[in-house]
Chain A
Amino acid sequence: MTTATDQSPMALSITGATKHYASGFTLDDITFDLPSGYIMGLIGPNGAGKSTLIKLILNMIHRDAGEIHVLGLDNIADEEIVKENLGVVFDSSYFIETWTVNKVEQAMAPMYLAWDHAAFDGYLTRFGLDRKKRVKELSRGMQMKLMLAVALSHDAKLLVLDEPTSGLDVLARDELMDILQNYIADGERSVLFSTHITADLERAADFITYITRGKLYFTGPKDEFEESFRLVKGGPDDLAPDVKGVAVGIHRYETGFDALVRAEDLGKIAGLKAGEGRHWTAPLTAEPASIDDIIRLTNTSDAAYAMEVA
């Protein structure tokens, strides 16, 4: 679609990443690239494997197979340089609770060659973080901002955020998205962002990687993701075999149904034959599917279990 992405080096490149847990869960053969200068949303229902994948990138858990490169460097062999270039935000604070904000800086600064005291100070002011406050006295949103301030103050080239917006109000989420868009504006820095609040992604994310049940379902430009599906709707008696045949997932309710269909399969549905956009004469309607629709309907009991990379 665009030539811009072809020329950029990869901020993150994951090939065949696999992790087996004794519990039976497997993160299975995940492969995708994030070009430099873009925001990628990592999505999927709870338990899909998003956090496992992030832990693999950060080398926090043992990888059973595959390769992970950050800015072209192996995330294990070159772990120190990789960590220097990574900024990380988790869904809950990783600082000692009794530390003051000031102590957080004292503890974190020596870990990074490029620690920028002035930048950190600037973020504290911007976020309204008081150096004397203890971590445990900060609200959830403030703790996230403190992690973000650390992540942004050592010239990291890739930010990895694991559910940073869970539990945040709309203002804090909005501010975060604003910061992330500023962060990537120079075209050299990138963001990998796992979330189940897809409203955060609808506008600002460039790429989507969707994993479910431990497998990769889609990776690519967000627009392509949304456009590759349509939501077909109709009354309870309109659920014809041709719809069932091509539906990726179906949600039935008393007065009708929603069926998620790949855009290229729309032509196979007779009930839409009056044509998309002129459906006042057809029994079924087809409309664009949101990210939430896609996640919801690819995880219903009706959803086709055999999943493949789109």
Chain B
Amino acid sequence: MKLIISSVSGEPIYEQIKNQIRASVLNGELKAGEALPSLRKLAKELRISVLTVTRAYNELADEGVVQNIQGKGTFVMDKGNELMRNQLESQARASLAEAVCAAKAVDIPLADLETMLAEEYQKDVAS
């Protein structure tokens, strides 16, 4: 699994970890049942705080992307599970809301926005 931390992106480090792990799970690179690196090992390798990794893993568990098993580690969940579905749905909606807000700010009509959406939808799965 590839995990890269940027210190200039402005995005919090725990978000960067979450997004990259979530993306790896969604694109199938991380399979259901696979173990994530241990908290302390990942923190040491990325030279980041143990608490930052803990937070990323805990929030991914809340999203249903992974599962923490006490004393064993953190494991990837099945993609189809309901919790993850709901999370992704609300994420899609939130992103749409933001797109609408941006569009309204510069008076892009709904029809144009729909065209843009359709174009994006036809594209290959975003990396």
Contacts and interface: CB of A to CB of B under 8 A. Distances in A.
Interface of A: 1-2, 4-5, 37-39, 177-178, 181-182, 184-187, 202-207, 221-223, 227, 275, 277-278, 280-281, 287-288
Interface string B11-55: 011100000000000000000000000011101100111111011
B52 A181 contact: no
Contact of A223 (B39, B44, B52, B101): B52
Contacts of A275: 101
Nearest to A38: B50
A interface secondary structure, majority: mixed
Contact of A184 (B7, B13, B50): B50
29 contacts: A1-B55, A1-B58, A2-B51, A4-B39, A5-B51, A181-B47, A182-B44, A184-B40, A185-B41, A185-B44, A186-B40, A202-B7, A203-B7, A203-B49, A204-B47, A204-B48, A205-B49, A206-B52, A222-B49, A222-B51, A223-B49, A223-B55, A277-B98, A278-B98, A278-B102, A278-B105, A280-B105, A288-B10, A288-B12
A269 B40 CA distance: 40
A288 B9 CA distance: 12
A113 to B, nearest CB: 28
A202 B14 CA distance: 13
Contact of B50 (A178, A206, A277, A287): A206
A205 B101 CA distance: 38
Nearest to B43: A181
Interface of B: 7, 10, 12-14, 39-41, 43-44, 47-52, 54-55, 58, 98, 101-102, 105
A222 B98 CA distance: 29
B105 A281 contact: yes
A281 B46 CA distance: 37
B115 to A, nearest CB: 22
Given A222-B49, A288-B10, 19 more contacts: A2-B51, A2-B55, A2-B58, A4-B39, A37-B50, A38-B51, A39-B50, A181-B43, A181-B44, A184-B50, A186-B40, A187-B40, A203-B7, A206-B50, A206-B51, A222-B51, A223-B14, A223-B51, A281-B105
A39 B49 contact: yes
B52 A177 contact: no
A281 B107 CA distance: 14
A178 B44 CA distance: 8
Contacts of B13: 203
A96 B48 CA distance: 36
A238 B57 CA distance: 41
A219 to B, nearest CB: 13
